[in-house]
Structure 1
Amino acid sequence: MKILVVGGGGREHALVWKIAQSSRVSHVWCAPGNPGIARHAECVPIAATDIDALLEFALEQDVDLTVVGPEAPLTLGIVDRFRSAGLTIFGPSRAAARLEGSKGFSKDLMAKYGIPTAAYRRFTDRDEAVAYIRNQGAPIVVKADGLAAGKGVVVAASIDEAVAAVDNMMIAGAFGEAGAEVVIEEFMEGEEASFFVFTDGKNILPLASAQDHKQIFDGDQGPNTGGMGAYSPAPVVTPELYEKIVNKIVRPTISGMEREGCPYAGIIYIGLMIVKGKPKVIEYNARFGDPEAQPLLVRLKSDIVPVLLGCARGEMRQSELEWHDKAAVCVVMASGGYPGDTQTGFPISGLDDAEKIDDLIVFHAGTASKDGQVINKGGRVLGVTGLGKTVAQAIDKAYQGVKVISWEGAQYRSDIGRKALNRDN
């Protein structure tokens, strides 16, 4: 089989790394890819959002399966275009991708089908939004309706902070059209978890549990990011909670999407808040999480290609996945200034030394090549992923790798996975 992976971040590096291990695969391309991905696949210089060029390439190369990594091409309708051309592609349709592309759409779906989530209101008028905030009080959550690269959510501790978030989105246009409408939600207090499910639109195949770390600083402080690290398994998801998530959230979501006339096929990422032992949906994503994909795919023992094909063809027959018994922890190393204006273009040292460490994999996200050196190019640069018999050992392994890698301004959290250790104690 010949496979094309669309994207060029850490999630796509992990997907390419896993796909390339399949005995069914003869060739892997990645568009646009990155220097790390180039070790496992042939990178082609086509942007993930250039649907016309991607379609032309897939037809020319007679690609058997295209796997879409990031959300932007999904919301632009890449799946619909490829299927219209007779190509097999993994990911939800444009209509189904609204589950991530519009916070308002997803909240309305949850309300309609009784899926537990925070109370909310949608606003297109700034003054009405501010009046609602003043009436509700703080803490309160303000979300841009559309895609904002994981940065369009503000958990406001005060009314003034919430109003400033509304003005930043609706008046200043910080996220463009994505912030023209906002969703304002009640604040939920609890512990977050990430839950992933493969689906062909009817059948579901849940993955192992994982937990992300959204805030930039230790102790979950500072602004939200795209994710500063993740680990799997996440002990917060007990077997009892797992069943609740599947029956009260996953199945109603998939059946609800089918009833709405936009069946969902691909992988669905459900961001959860565990409130007093009960799961509530924070948000949906229409693709693998990043950085959760890194520890999950490192732990996945099963061949991923038959699952991707089954979802893409609407005929997923697999009933379970096999997992390595080791834990995995991914620590994100980011550029200075992230999640604001980033400082990029600096040579990265220590990558060769990190690769010599057993049970350690360095996934590239925001990297590029310049004059024979790997440099930092984006906000989140590397996902340093360690394996261990326990979460504690996996943490030690990941930070062993982090300590040998450096570039000017590099930053990372020092407490990734600590919640799992605290729960064990």
Structure 2
Amino acid sequence: MRVLVIGSGAREHALVLAASHDPAVTALGCAPGNAGTAAFAETLGVDLTLPSAIAELAVSWRADLVVIGPEVPLVGGAADAVRAAGVPCFGPGADAARIEGSKSFAKEVMASAGVPTARSEVVDNPAHLDAALARFGPTWVVKDDGLAAGKGVVVTEDVERARKHALMLLDGGHPVVLESFLDGPEASLFCLVDGRTVVPLLPAQDFKRVGDGDTGPNTGGMGAYAPLPWSPPELVDEVVSTIVRPVVDELDRRGVPFSGLLYAGLALTSEGPRVIEFNCRFGDPETQVVLPLLRTPIAGLLHATATGTLAEHPPLEWSDEAAVTVVIAADGYPGKPRTGDVITGGEDEGVLHAGTRRRDDGAVVSSGGRVLSVVGVGEDLTAAREEAYARVSRVNLTGAHYRTDIAARAAAGHLAVPAR
């Protein structure tokens, strides 16, 4: 099978790495890729904002399967264009991808499906903002209604900070979604969906805040771990039956069946799981810890999802180990990152590249905010953390920063779901 992965981050590096271990894969391409994916896949050029260019590349490269990683091309209709060109594609069409591309659409779908989520209100006029804020908080949750790469959300007990963020979004022409705050630890559950069949993967937990102890602004994600030793054994079945399947059925009822990876971002509250958000693709950095634990070959699994035959696929097989990933970020991130610095010590297969490129002289340099995603796998979370941070210690990047507490509370047994 010739597999073409679209994207350039650590998520795509994780997908490429998993596909490289699949004996059914005879050729592997990544577009536009990065310095890390180049070790396993042919690097191909493409404009991620042009669905027609992605489809043309799939045809000219003779792909048997296209896997689209990022949300921007999915929301833009890249999967529609690839399928129209006759190539199987893993990823939802533009209409179904609105589950991530528009938070107000997602809320509407959840309301129709009877899915538990936070109370919300959309504000599209600054004149209505103060009255809306008065109906929420404390704590206030303010979100950009559209795509914001994980950085359009402010969660604060300061109403003035909430107001300032909302006004900034509105001034930029972006409607604002206000939500009630949900208690309890957060979790992410990825589900493969081929329109109707739902196959869950392992739940994971990511870390959005830039600093230790969940301090500082939100980011695209500073680390993650899987599985969740503190979660109840019935969690996955409950989330699939009360949240994922109703949303899948509702999208199908609306004539926009979802095919690809449906990501449920959850708060595990004292009243049960509640949806924080839906994404239409593999999450980053959770993918970097879920895929290393998957023993089922990935290419056939994603191809079955893309071709509507997921119900016929054998049950998934998983390692009984744990995985932790730690994101190494550039100086300045999540603001304007410093780029162009040489990276050394990142040659290990457990070091997944995100914002990197290879210079003409062969040196690997930083090219984005989240530069590397360093993965450790071990018999439990403690061992996986030790492996991940040992690899982090061998990486050198001027001005880099990372969190030192990824999975620490879970490994120490200090996390639990609130009693119902």
Q: TM-score range by the shorter chain?
A: over 0.9
Q: Distance in 2 between matches of 1:252 and 1:5?
A: 29
Does 2:359 align with 1:367?
Answer: no
Unmatched 5+ stretches in structure 1? none
- Count of residues in Structure 1 that have an aligned counterpart in Structure 2: 413
Could you tell me how far 1:237 is from its partner in structure 2?
Answer: 2.7
Structure 1 partner of 2:327: 332
Could you tell me how far 1:31 is from its partner in structure 2?
Answer: 0.4
Q: Distance in 1 between matches of 2:322 and 2:227?
A: 6
Structure 1 partner of 2:131: 131
Structure 1 SS opposite 2:130: helix
Could you tell me how far 1:261 is from its partner in structure 2?
Answer: 1.4
Structure 2 SS opposite 1:163: helix
Identity among equivalent pairs (%)? 45
Which amino acid letter does the alignment assign opposite residue 343 of structure 2? Answer: I
* Contact 2:46/2:57 (8 A) holds in 1: no
Aligned mate of 1:350, from 342, 345, 358: 345
Could you tell me how far 1:245 is from its partner in structure 2?
Answer: 0.9
Aligned mate of 1:285, from 279, 289, 292: 279
Could you tell me how far 1:319 is from its partner in structure 2?
Answer: 5.2
Does 2:398 align with 1:414?
Answer: no
Q: Distance in 1 between matches of 2:95 and 2:45?
A: 28
* Contact 1:75/1:97 (8 A) holds in 2: yes
Could you tell me how far 1:252 is from its partner in structure 2?
Answer: 0.7
Structure 2 partner of 1:217: 211
Q: Distance in 2 between matches of 1:28 and 1:406?
A: 29
What aligned pairs does 1:19-58 form with structure 2 within 5 A after superposition?
Answer: 19-58=19-58
Query: After the TM superposition, which of the residue ranges 136-145 and 415-424 deviates more from structure 2?
Result: 415-424
Could you tell me how far 1:424 is from its partner in structure 2?
Answer: 6.1
TM-score, normalization by structure 1: 0.95
* Contact 1:195/1:209 (8 A) holds in 2: yes
Structure 1 partner of 2:73: 73
TM-score, normalization by structure 2: 0.96
Aligned mate of 2:384, from 391, 394, 405: 394
What is the Cα-based RMSD across aligned positions, in Å?
1.3
Structure 2 SS opposite 1:392: helix
Which amino acid letter does the alignment assign opposite residue 408 of structure 1? Answer: T
Could you tell me how far 1:308 is from its partner in structure 2?
Answer: 0.7
What aligned pairs does 1:158-307 form with structure 2 within 5 A after superposition?
Answer: 158-171=158-171, 173=172, 180-276=174-270, 278-307=272-301
Query: After the TM superposition, which of the residue ranges 237-246 and 17-26 deviates more from structure 2?
Result: 237-246
Structure 2 partner of 1:309: 303
Structure 2 SS opposite 1:196: strand
Structure 2 partner of 1:111: 111
* Contact 2:54/2:82 (8 A) holds in 1: no
Residues 132-165 of structure 1, C-alpha deviations (whole Å, 9 max, x = no match): 1034342111111100111111112111011101
Q: Distance in 1 between matches of 2:288 and 2:247?
A: 25
Q: Distance in 2 between matches of 1:229 and 1:279?
A: 22
Q: Distance in 2 between matches of 1:422 and 1:108?
A: 39
Which amino acid letter does the alignment assign opposite residue 258 of structure 1? Answer: D
Residues 119 and 135 of structure 1: CA distance in aligned 2, closer, same or farther (over 3 Å): closer
